[in-house]
Structure 1
Amino acid sequence: MTDNAQKNESDNNPTEKKCGIIAKFSIIFKLIEFKLKIADFLSPLVNLGIRFYMAWIFLKSGLLKLPKDFLGLNIGRGYSWDSTIYLFEEVHPVPLLSPNVAAVLGTGLEILCPILLIIGLGARPAAAILLIMTAVIELTSDPDFLSETASTQHQYWIILLSVIVFYGAGKLSIDHIIRKKSLSYPKYREITGIKEA
């Protein structure tokens, strides 16, 4: 058989064409699988980065609201408690709360929730609280939240905090360790309806 005859025969053979297409798709599927493995490896690190970044922003803000000699511990970085109360009276008034209560509650949550985010314990509720605080700050200081002139900084915070609220703290967290440990108990799996880890 000549080369031309072999070529014509292989061109007309549908099995060989299918094998060629499958081989091409096989390479594509292997590339996709490789990229998914990279994403699977990096996603906990990205989640950890988001948690640390948001924690840093809110913890810094909370410490700035404390007086320098707070409880004699010298942990505060702020000016005076009066300036913190003024902030909740004039700059960011919180609906339904007095400025004193809002100052204590806001400052306390800005210190506690970031610590929870850092260690990854109760990260979803902590992120949800910070998300609500961000939304209240944005809506009270700029009612036209979705306009082009609105502060994009708070919008980015809302997006990043939403990632934690919807996807959790990730594999590098105490929440993940607790969940894996809980899934080892059959009664927990039965109650929650979760099959396996």
Structure 2
Amino acid sequence: MNALLCAALRAFTDPGLAPTRLPASLGTLTSHLQSLALLGARLYVAQVFFLSGLTKLRDWSSTLALFQDIYQVPLLPPVLAAWLGTSGELVLPVLLVLGLAGRFAGAGLFVVNLVAVLSLSADDLSPAAQAQHALWGVLALAVVLWGAGRWSADRLIRAA
């Protein structure tokens, strides 16, 4: 019991710089929990962006007006920015849910999120909205850094 407690303490305080030597059962549990957390992050971020893309698609004239008048996407004409943003919000979440090209999808949604934040003026982004965008960015970045996890098409492809 003492060895298990020491191993758990090491695992919780490990900065991640070197591989942690955990007892096999604790290592397996940690691996499953990490994959569950990544799956949750993938599903949550995918839902947020996919629903946003559907909203833009439902009222395309309003979407174009938003990109022309409110969203100031740097370096891109408003119509192209609207097409790219909406396409990214519809295609990348599907990849993220499947865990297919998970790191790519996470990176793509991180960029979409970053461009959304940078294209709005500070007055248009409330503190609550800033917190939501920060959460979405961190979750997307987690998928970029650790991959889609055990329950993903990427894992199935790699195992084949």
Deviation of 1:136 (Å) = 1.2
Amino acid at match of 1:60: L
In structure 2, C-alpha distance between the alignment counterparts of 1:100 and 1:35, rounded to whole Å: 52
Cα distance in 2, alignment partners of residues 153 and 177 from structure 1: 32
Equivalent AA in structure 1 for residue 92 of structure 2: C
Q: Which moved more, 1:95-104 or 1:34-43?
A: 34-43
Matched, 1:52 2:29: no
Describe the superposition over 1:125-164 as per-residue Cα deviations: whole angstroms up to 9, x where unpaired: 11111101111111221469xxx78711111111101000
> Partner letter of residue 150 of structure 2?
K
Report if aligned partners of 1:87, 1:93 keep a CA contact under 8 Å in 2. Answer: no
Q: Which runs of 5+ in 2 are unaligned?
A: 10-22
The C-alpha deviation readout for 1:166-194, integer Å capped at 9, x for no partner, is 1110010011111222xxxxxxxxxxxxx
CA distance in 2, matches of 1:149, 1:115: 26
Written as runs of structure 1 = structure 2, the 5 A alignment for 1:139-150 is 139-142=118-121
The list of structure 1 runs, each at least 4 consecutive aligned residues, that deviate by more than 2 angstroms after superposition, is 24-38
Question: Where does structure 1 lack aligned partners over 5 or more consecutive residues?
Answer: 1-23, 67-77, 182-197
Look up the match of 1:136: 115
Measured in 1, the distance between the counterparts of 2:96 and 2:158 equals: 16
The 3 A distance-change label for structure 1 pair 27 and 128 is closer
Distance in 2 between residues matched to 1:164 and 1:27, nearest whole Å:
29
One-letter amino acid matched to 1:102: A
**Higher-Rg member (1/2):** 1
The Cα offsets for residues 10-33 of structure 1, whole Å up to 9 and x where unpaired, read as xxxxxxxxxxxxxx8535346563
| TM-score in terms of structure 2 length | 0.79
* Residues 143 and 175 (structure 1), Cα distance of their counterparts in 2 relative to 1, 3 Å cut: same
Matches within 5 A, 1:155-174: 155-174=134-153
Identity %: 38
Q: Structure 1 residues 119 and 27, CA, compared in 2 at 3 Å: closer, same or farther?
A: closer
* 1:26 is the counterpart of 2:3: yes
Structure 1 vs Structure 2 CA RMSD:
2.3
Given that 1:142 and 1:150 are in contact with CA atoms closer than 8 Å, whether structure 2 keeps it comes out as no
C-alpha separation between the residues in 2 aligned to 1:135 and 1:162? 11
2:84 aligned residue:
105
